[in-house]
Amino acid sequence: MKKSLFVYAFLLGALFSVSAQVSADSPSATQWNTNFTSQTAYWTVNWNIGIPMGETNDYISKTSFRGISLDGRYFLTDEISIGGVASWQVFNERLRNLPPQPIEDQDGVQGDISGSQYRYLNAVPIMANAHYYTDLGSTTAYFGTGIGTMYSEQRTELGLNAFVDESWGFAFQPEVGVFIPIGWGDAGLNVAVRYLYGTASGDQDNVSALTFAVGFGWLY
């Protein structure tokens, strides 16, 4: 966690430096006003915070601060876009003092295994999406959904043992968000709330998470 906070502080510091450089290079504040009218594309890159829900919460209950997403959208009209999004969220949690886990019966031999568990879930959804935009004055709100596939890997490390399940499944992700111009040309803050659901096969649980995305958006 300390490591994550350090990296995040570094990220903010680096962006502040870039911001100062942009301000020095930019011509005037009036040219920073940005809206979605007559734009052809909207790109965002975001830091994602994931809150596990449902079966995912049963496996890992800890909030994930390890996520990134890249979203590209093409405007069909001033209010509607289609595009695609790819993201990567890593959930992890250490669990101690768990009851012994039963081992699958083999030829009449039964067993149990105990020890500290390190659980990981890597979720990588890749989806096509569509959004509707509405002007809120100085900001632009949008809502939409993504539909596609998701690769997920569920890994439980118990002592020196690792139990791994991988799968590809169907995924969808409704979201609402807002674009906030901050005076960097056609760039601004992108803030969104997403609900991710993905199916999984085999012994792996379905993936369910509420995601808060904070990042930068660019209009072209």
Partner 1 sequence: MKIKFSLWIVVAVLSLGLVSCYPDSDRPIEDYDSTSTFYDEDAFSPPPASVALFWEVNQVENDDEDDIDYNGEIDDEILNTTLENLVDLYGEANVTIISEDDIPSPTPSNSNVQVVTPSDADPTPDVDAVVAPSIILRNQYVGAIYPGYPWYPWWDWWYPCYYCGYPPYVSYTKYEVGTVILDMIDTSNLDDDPNTEDDTSPMWVAVFKGLVSSNESSNASRVITNIDQAFEQSPYLK
Binding residues (CB under 8 A) for partner 1: these are 3-4, 7-8, 10-11, 14-15, 18, 21-22, 25, 45-47, 65-68, 70, 88, 90, 92, 94, 96, 100, 103, 106, 108-116, 118, 120, 122, 153, 155, 158-161, 184-187, 215-216, 218
Question: Is residue 96 within 8 Å of residue 116, measured between CB atoms?
Answer: yes
- Compute the distance between CA of residue 57 and CA of residue 201 in angstroms, rounded to an integer: 17
In sequence order, what are the beta bridge partners of 105?
A: none
Give me the least distance between CB of 61 and partner 1, in Å please.
15
- By beta-carbon proximity to partner 1, the closer residue of 13 and 54 is 13
Give me the least distance between CB of 132 and partner 1, in Å please.
26
Give me the least distance between CB of 215 and partner 1, in Å please.
7
- By beta-carbon proximity to partner 1, the closer residue of 88 and 172 is 88
- By beta-carbon proximity to partner 1, the closer residue of 14 and 76 is 14
Give me the least distance between CB of 89 and partner 1, in Å please.
8
- Compute the distance between CA of residue 199 and CA of residue 150 in angstroms, rounded to an integer: 8
Question: Is residue 146 within 8 Å of residue 125, measured between CB atoms?
Answer: yes
Give me the least distance between CB of 63 and partner 1, in Å please.
13
- By beta-carbon proximity to partner 1, the closer residue of 48 and 81 is 48
- Compute the distance between CA of residue 211 and CA of residue 215 in angstroms, rounded to an integer: 13
Question: Is residue 132 within 8 Å of residue 79, measured between CB atoms?
Answer: yes
Backbone angles phi, psi at 173, to 5 degrees: -155, 90
- By beta-carbon proximity to partner 1, the closer residue of 47 and 143 is 47
- Compute the distance between CA of residue 66 and CA of residue 187 in angstroms, rounded to an integer: 24
The upper half-sphere exposure of residue 156, i.e. CA atoms within 13 Å in the direction of its Cβ, equals 16
